[in-house]
Homo-oligomer: A and B are copies of this chain.
Amino acid sequence: MEESGRLLLKAAEIEGMARERRVHFLNPNAVRLRRSLGDRVGLTKLGVHLVEIEPGRVSTEFHIHYDEEECVYVLAGRGMLELGDETFELGAGDFLGLPAGKKAYAIRNDGKDLLVFLLFGQRLPHDVAEYPRLSKRLFRHRGTWSLADLADLSDPRDSRRGA
């Protein structure tokens, strides 16, 4: 937030913001062109991103968050939503809510134009995400990221409880 007090972003200014190209670390076809509106105005507990997905790309590796809530409001374009074991068409004006721990999701741009959506979410100091198709879990906490294969994780209480 370089300019203190700059809390309002006009549409023309947003249009001119540079798109960050973000490739998911687990999926080279998951590519977001991202403008972080929230960071720009100094929000720290909420992430607010204007996201563009190019035709043929997906928004993210199919995943679920166990702590952070997230939601999507589609502004333009068409997409195909994978949500749990179902698929849905997505278009402008559709809203997707992702309460923590409910369902994994990813969005594919299967149209010919850019798919544009607002992505809103909590920013917690800790979160656990899971990538069910890759059998991986990501523990994020206070700046540390620990990615593990599910096969390498165990619950020690299965032998003997303690602390």
A152→B152 CA distance, assembly (Å): 7
Copies in the complex: 4
A23→B90 CA distance, assembly (Å): 33
Shortest Cβ distance from A73 into B: residue: B118
Q: Which residues of B have CB within 8 Å of A97?
A: 7-9, 37-38, 40-43, 48
A46 contacts which of B1, B30, B42, B122 (Cβ < 8 Å)? B122
Contact A11 B44 (CB under 8 A): no
Contact A25 B161 (CB under 8 A): yes
Known: A11-B92, A69-B45. A148 touches B148 (CB 8 A): yes
What is the interface of chain A, defined by CB distance below 8 A to chain B?
A: 1, 5, 7-11, 14-15, 22-26, 30, 32, 37-38, 40-46, 48, 60, 66-67, 69, 71, 73, 81, 83-84, 88, 90-100, 102-103, 118, 120-122, 126, 128, 137-139, 141-142, 144-149, 152-157, 159-163
